[in-house]
Amino acid sequence: MTDELTPETPDEDEQPIKQRKNGLYPGVSDELAENMKSGWADTELRDLQPIEQAPNAARRRAALSARFPGERLVIPAGNLKTRSNDTEYSFRASTEYVYLTGDQTDDSVLVLEPTKDGHEATLYRLPRSDRENGEFWLNGMGELWVGRRHSLTESAALLGVACKDVRELAEALKEATGPVRVVRGHDAGIEAALADKVTAERDEELRVHLSEARVVKDEFEIGQLQKAVDSTVRGFEDVVKVLDKAEATSERYIEGTFFLRARVEGNDVGYGSICAAGPHATTLHWVRNDGPVRSGDLLLLDAGVETDTLYTADVTRTLPINGRFSDLQRKIYDAVFEAQEAGIAAVKPGAAYRDFHDAAQRVLAERLVEWGLVEGPVERVLELGLQRRWTLHGTGHMLGLDVHDCAAARTETYVNGTLEPGMVLTVEPGLYFQSDDLTVPEEYRGIGVRIEDDILVTDDGNRNLSAALPRRSDEVEAWMAGLKK
């Protein structure tokens, strides 16, 4: 990447520091400044059609409006975060903002202004860069540096919401009167402007509402999740095809291979890929991915492509690196598969959310007792939770814009709630025998297995969105053999 403009005649006493974001660069002659103002074509885009999810976003804003009548609601997209010096992490807009607008532009803020019969939505965002004052090329946030932005008129046409200059928002919020709530954690500047008008408790109610609103997905969201899963399936196939290269290098080869698919077909990975070979599979969130990949070991790959609309898949397969499970690996794998089957069967409308977890845990406890790793009976093991030494985590979670979606939802609507058509959740039991677990026979140590699928609750049961990836041990082997040919 290139650096900023270099001053023609640096004068260290007068202009010791180059200002990237807000100041003008030194050393620009009046003639050049004047020259840069003109000679640019009108590129305004006309007759733009609204984005596909615009009507869905409008419905979501209407539901939000109905929940908080008479209150001003402020939902920021968030700001760029510094990675180092003058480089930033790639931007990912806040889930709440994306859900309510379909937009992903940094520094933007959605404001719902109360009116007598509801709310009026306004999107505050940066307009096109000014050419007259030189900001488009003399400021590091100018379009010459970061790329063309949509004009406010273009954005309004695309998103179906009136747009205004975000640089006027903080002042307007400071002066405004009446009740107001903001989604916290995304935009410190906006929060500062509202500091003496909001309370943590009321803001949390807004966040909770937006989390619970996302529990049931609409048709657009289900389509996007299927798209994310389909790309993820191709990413898993990519990985199987290059396992020999991973053996010659490290888990990083697997991470990079999956990431290529994520970037080509989507926006990114929805979370750091877990590429855990051998004993690393027993570390639940192994994302260092710097270990060796060895024939004879298992690879636990937990990864998901995030679509350009920011919906993510979350899929795990545990694969024999050499294409064939050993007897013990198969025994453990088949137990997890059986637990997952029991879990998936418990996903249906009207069932308690906890049912699929309980169903999977029961199967795992039964096997652990059967193998003599824990003393039965199974009821005692489940009552005391003794299986959890090796099952470690919950059996699933909601999935959507966030990989752990709807996380702010109240216990009564989520964990203690009831499944409804349109919910999408993961079912992902696992068994993990740590390398240093002296309570299990030595041959178990360092084996970790998880199988995870993305399940849509339908009117009469469920649909496995990730069914295209085989799960049964013999089918996994056949699938791998087919890909490696």
Interface contacts to Mn ion, rule CB under 5 A: 314, 426
Region of 372 please: left (phi>0), alpha (psi -120 to 50) or beta.
Answer: left
The distance of closest approach from Cβ of residue 303 to Mn ion in the complex, given in angstroms and rounded to an integer, is 10
The distance of closest approach from Cβ of residue 298 to Mn ion in the complex, given in angstroms and rounded to an integer, is 18
Q: Is 139 or 466 the residue whose CB approaches Mn ion more closely?
A: 466
Q: For residues 142 and 233, what is the distance between their CA atoms, to the nearest angstrom? A: 39
DSSP string for residues in 397-437? -B-SSSSSTTTTS-TTTTTTSB--TT-EEEE--EEEE-TT-
Q: Is the dihedral of CA 191, 195, 198, 200 positive or negative?
A: positive
Q: Which residue shows structure tokens 């309980």?
A: 358
Q: Is 154 or 314 the residue whose CB approaches Mn ion more closely?
A: 314
The distance of closest approach from Cβ of residue 430 to Mn ion in the complex, given in angstroms and rounded to an integer, is 10
Q: Is 73 or 425 the residue whose CB approaches Mn ion more closely?
A: 425
The number of residues making up the chain comes to 485
The distance of closest approach from Cβ of residue 397 to Mn ion in the complex, given in angstroms and rounded to an integer, is 6
Q: Is the dihedral of CA 344, 346, 348, 354 positive or negative?
A: negative
Q: Is 320 or 429 the residue whose CB approaches Mn ion more closely?
A: 429
Q: For residues 252 and 452, what is the distance between their CA atoms, to the nearest angstrom? A: 21
Q: Is the dihedral of CA 179, 183, 188, 189 positive or negative?
A: negative
Q: Is 97 or 353 the residue whose CB approaches Mn ion more closely?
A: 353
The distance of closest approach from Cβ of residue 304 to Mn ion in the complex, given in angstroms and rounded to an integer, is 8
Q: Is 106 or 314 the residue whose CB approaches Mn ion more closely?
A: 314
One-letter amino acid identity for 231?
Answer: S
**Tokens (6 digits) for 197:** 């008008």
The distance of closest approach from Cβ of residue 9 to Mn ion in the complex, given in angstroms and rounded to an integer, is 58
Q: For residues 455 and 400, what is the distance between their CA atoms, to the nearest angstrom? A: 11
